[in-house]
Structure 1
Amino acid sequence: MYKTQTAPMGWNSWDCYGAAVTEDIVRQNAAFMAEHLKQYGWEYITVDIQWAEPTAENHEYHPFTELCMDEYSRLIPAVNRFPSSADGKGFAPLAEYVHSLGLKFGIHIMRGIPRQAVHQNTPILGSTQTARQIAKTDSICHWNTDMYGVNPEAEGAKAYYDSLFTLYASWGVDFIKCDDIARELPHEETELILLSRSLQDCGRDMILSLSPGPALLEKAELYKQTSNMWRITDDFWDSWPQLYEMFDRAREWCIHAGNGCWPDADMLPIGPIKQDYDPSLSTEFTQDEQITMMSLWSIFRSPLIIGGEMTKFDDFTMGLITNEDILKMHRNARHSHPVWQKDIDGTEHILWTAVSSEGGQYAVIFNTGEQDSSVRIPLQDLEIYHPVHSTELWSGQTSEIAETINVSLKKHGAAVFYLN
């Protein structure tokens, strides 16, 4: 399995445009990333769900809609939304453009085979079997009607998945977000294994990201063997209760992060989102909540996938995603884990720590309560028994700490310290 030394960083079209993103939007966000963010490690540009649907218009799905498909049962981009895909070129021209910027290109897929291929009984490339013969028609997605599952035991099943990833490799795809599979285990475990094997056999290095969550903790080793990242939550949006819940998910999954395997806390709903509904909509997270989110995702080493329309980011949002010290923590944190979660003067706080691969130690303190607070953190809570030099990574403030870190926090806020 292709492994990455650090958790992937990029942009995905879902939070802004749902099922309805178009080629010009993808290109403008890719150009923005290349000019403003690539130098900080951001590199993946991913087209999310329904790119084969000509009539997609927002975050809602059209049940049993007609999709664009080639003669071998494989979905292809809708030309009205992705004009460069005309004449059978698929996503190759768009991927070539993204690559020309020094970035990498990704697409969303659904597990299985298109229902319309099964109904039309279309051929499978490299097999005498047809779509109807390899379909598992009692395996369906409960929130999207596009696909049937594939029967991994059927002759021709491997040929179908081989043909998919051979096609994606020919387009120049670097990242696959496969949906309707992460939380479907153990029922669809053999299909995940089959799909993963076909990706590994295609001759091109690709990230495999599994969705949706919550992934099953007892299947952690299987996710590691078959993929690079897997969602530990259902769709994550700009809601404080969802963000608060992520502390428990991160606590459960933190021991599994690293060595090319990345539990995924989902996208960062920052800046303008849900542009398909209203171009004026922006994240409902406060600035302090966004700092908390970025701090938790980074020490936990979740993949960092931007969800907002990047070309409309304000100065605060740009500062949030270009803080080099925070991104360095995302790359270098090791053995990340929570130290404690407790009430201090009537307000709940959570302390996380990690060692740095370059030496030193990180400490992140979160105020998850409903009022501002002042907190004292004894160094001995971090198993440090000598004075240290401290840098708070969001403010850049430095100090010498003898015994106790003293910090003031806004409600739902966070502070990140590098101690050496």
Structure 2
Amino acid sequence: MNLKRTLLLSSALLGLGHAVSAQKASPKPTDFHQWAATPPMGWNSWDCYGPTVVEKEVKANADYMASKLKAYGWDYVVVDIRWYVGNDTAHGYNEKNPEYNIDQYGRFTPAPNRFPSAAGGKGFKPLADYMHSKGLKFGIHIMRGVPVEAVKRKLPILGTKVTAADIHTTEGQCNWLHDMYTIVAGKPGAQEYYNSIFELYASWGVDFVKVDDLSEPYHTAEIEMIRKAIDRTGRKIVLSMSPGETPIADAKHAQQHANMWRTVGDFWDSWEQLKEHFEVCERWAPFIMPGSWPDADMLPLGRLGIRAERGDDRMTRFTKDEQYTLMTLWSIFRSPLMFGGDLPSNDAFTLSLLTNKNVLAVHHNSKNNKQLFRNSDAVGWVADDPQTGDKYLALFNAADQKPAAEQDAKWVSSQITRQNTSQTVDIDITGAKKLYLCVRGGTDGTAWDHANWLNPTLTNGDKTLPLTSVTWKDASAGWGKTTVNKSVSGGALTVDGKVYENGIGTHANSVIEYDLPAGYTRFKATVGLDKAAAGQNTGGTLKFLVFTTSPMQAMPPDSARVSVALKDLGLPAGATVQDLWTGKKVGTFTQNFSPFIRRHGAGFYRVSAGGKGKKV
């Protein structure tokens, strides 16, 4: 359906129904914090389907949730980004010729070719009704602002005499998706536009709205307009702010206006990103509050990447130990739990992670959640059971194989940033049998560290061999998948505005290992930050390194003791310990509890006062 036809249809059917109600204030609801007294739990379409999910896939995931997960507290089903575009694409966005569906008041409506029940101007109401009939709740994703299409067409704002063109500015436009313009607070019609879209969502029966491009950078004025718009509908719509990291300086404001807000950028099935969460969660723990939850992002578990933005169709790259770490940390941190995998594709192990009553009890009911200690890669978290006085204890072994020192490298770049995006390398590798191309995170972790090795070649006098024609022995990437002749995000290799046909796209932290063909004496390349990262507001600091000997130190043991003094838990007279994941009693202890924890793994325990046991 073309835009003109969609516009006319939406005008006739949606306009009549909402012309009066959209600007008629409803009774103010109860405090919005009560709507999410415990951290929301549900499914979101992003990790599976990117911007291309269709109605039958949403229903299939809802059916699974209703039959297997609802009894454990899982109840939100969220349709993520660009449900209003009829011809969007997997592994990125179609910004060349998007087929927008929009009504006469500049409000996006569901694409009926993807959501057939929305045809005839019904919007998402039939799909929301389907969720409600199963005892579930329905959510959608939107972008902050007013549609560019509405501004171009000067579409009127419902209940006012102004148009979308009168309330917008191009300043602050999202730099990774250009569907929207910023709304200028205080302009006539600005609040009314937000009122109109949330009144529409309320009429559909929406229970949850994830607003993107809102909290990083932090858009205070639009957040406040959104809060007012939700409150005036009279419907209990949970507000989720994205992406992150939300500025810590704005944490109090976020608590006063949203039910959840992101603490990180997009989180995928990467150990590097998971390990960074120990610092992130420790930083945000003081701001955990009933009804307002720091959000560590979705759970990239189960089957991912069916038509997603990142990676291929796969089961999660996390090992089982890492999956236990993820669920344990998210539970004791009390992050919202939004499952990213395709639920009907779950295996028994994945289902077991989502239905452990002992673990979910910590997530639902614990108090005073905080990091107890971090001794290098040994991490401990603690929380209280307010009903029994017991302690919840989470222990983690985050040990990794350590990188070799920079001075052991044959070549090290200067720090690559969004301002200093590229550098050249030309080094002598005479006699070397191995070549390791490494990328390490810079001063701000590994956020948006999309790294490109451009035109990498081996030479010996007049003889030249493109390294891309040599099969690597092994290749890792801290996020996504190392790829020949494409960036890690799947696009063209682009640095400093120039597109390169030959090269390797990866992401910090990364090691690409080659067995060198005989006879070559030099390695040459250009290294740089890919365009996909250079356009971001944060991240994108990294270093490139070339080694001809191993870039890693010896591997640490498979497991190690992580020890806790019971007195540090307030239990100096001893305690009984139960394993929450297995439900089994571990034993009784008088002074210390020191279990072996597998590398990248976690232990999760209930610690109860009393019991005579062994000194450990």
TM norm. shorter chain > 0.5: yes
Task: Choose from 350, 355, 370 the match for 2:384.
Answer: 355
- Larger displacement relative to structure 2 (301-310 or 59-68): 59-68
**Paired residues for 1:143-154 under 5 Å:** 143-154=176-187
Shift of 1:169: 0.3
Aligned residue for 1:140?
A: 173
**AA aligned opposite 2:384:** V
- The alignment yields a C-alpha RMSD, in angstroms, of 1.2
1:350-386 Cα distance to aligned partner (Å, 9 max, x none): 0110111212111111000033212332212323212
2:595 is paired with a residue whose SS is: strand
* Separation in 2, partners of 1:310, 1:337: 31
Aligned residue for 1:404?
A: 592
1:173 is paired with a residue whose SS is: coil
Q: Is the 8 A contact 2:397 2:562 kept in 1?
A: no
Aligned residue for 2:132?
A: 99
Shift of 1:317: 0.4
Query: 1:376 aligned to 2:563?
Result: yes
Query: 1:228 aligned to 2:262?
Result: no
**Paired residues for 1:237-386 under 5 Å:** 237-276=268-307, 280-343=313-376, 348-359=377-388, 360-370=390-400, 371=557, 372-386=559-573
- Larger displacement relative to structure 2 (47-56 or 190-199): 190-199
* Separation in 2, partners of 1:134, 1:393: 53
Aligned residue for 2:49?
A: 17
* Separation in 2, partners of 1:193, 1:63: 29
**AA aligned opposite 1:358:** Q
* Separation in 1, partners of 2:111, 2:247: 34
**Aligned sequence identity (%):** 43
1:176 is paired with a residue whose SS is: strand
Aligned residue for 2:79?
A: 47
Decide whether aligned partners of structure 1 residues 36 and 128 sit closer, same or farther in structure 2, where only a CA change above 3 A counts.
Answer: same
Shift of 1:419: 1.1
1:149-187 Cα distance to aligned partner (Å, 9 max, x none): 1111110111111110100000000000000001122xx
Aligned residue for 1:174?
A: 207
1:196 is paired with a residue whose SS is: helix
Shift of 1:258: 1.9
Query: 1:8 aligned to 2:37?
Result: no
* Separation in 1, partners of 2:270, 2:237: 32
* Separation in 1, partners of 2:573, 2:394: 19
1:178 is paired with a residue whose SS is: strand
Give the TM-score of the pair, scaled to structure 2: 0.66
* Separation in 2, partners of 1:117, 1:377: 59
Shift of 1:280: 4.3
Q: Is the 8 A contact 2:324 2:602 kept in 1?
A: yes
**AA aligned opposite 1:415:** G
Q: Is the 8 A contact 1:20 1:59 kept in 2?
A: no
Structure 2 segments unaligned to the other structure (5+ residues)? 1-30, 401-556, 609-616
Q: Is the 8 A contact 2:398 2:599 kept in 1?
A: yes
**AA aligned opposite 1:409:** I
* Separation in 2, partners of 1:172, 1:243: 35
Query: 1:415 aligned to 2:448?
Result: no
**AA aligned opposite 1:8:** P
Q: Is the 8 A contact 1:17 1:59 kept in 2?
A: no
* Separation in 2, partners of 1:375, 1:202: 51
* Separation in 2, partners of 1:332, 1:385: 25
Q: Is the 8 A contact 1:66 1:116 kept in 2?
A: no
Q: Is the 8 A contact 1:12 1:46 kept in 2?
A: yes
Decide whether aligned partners of structure 1 residues 280 and 63 sit closer, same or farther in structure 2, where only a CA change above 3 A counts.
Answer: closer
- Larger displacement relative to structure 2 (104-113 or 53-62): 53-62
1:50 is paired with a residue whose SS is: coil
Query: 1:216 aligned to 2:404?
Result: no
Shift of 1:395: 2.0
Shift of 1:259: 2.0
Shift of 1:59: 3.6
Shift of 1:57: 2.5
**Paired residues for 1:80-91 under 5 Å:** 80-91=113-124
* Separation in 2, partners of 1:181, 1:24: 29
1:38-69 Cα distance to aligned partner (Å, 9 max, x none): 00000000000010000013141122523110
Q: Is the 8 A contact 2:396 2:562 kept in 1?
A: no
Shift of 1:401: 2.1
Shift of 1:139: 2.7
1:63-89 Cα distance to aligned partner (Å, 9 max, x none): 252311000000000000000000110
Shift of 1:325: 0.3
* Separation in 2, partners of 1:62, 1:279: 18
1:139 is paired with a residue whose SS is: coil
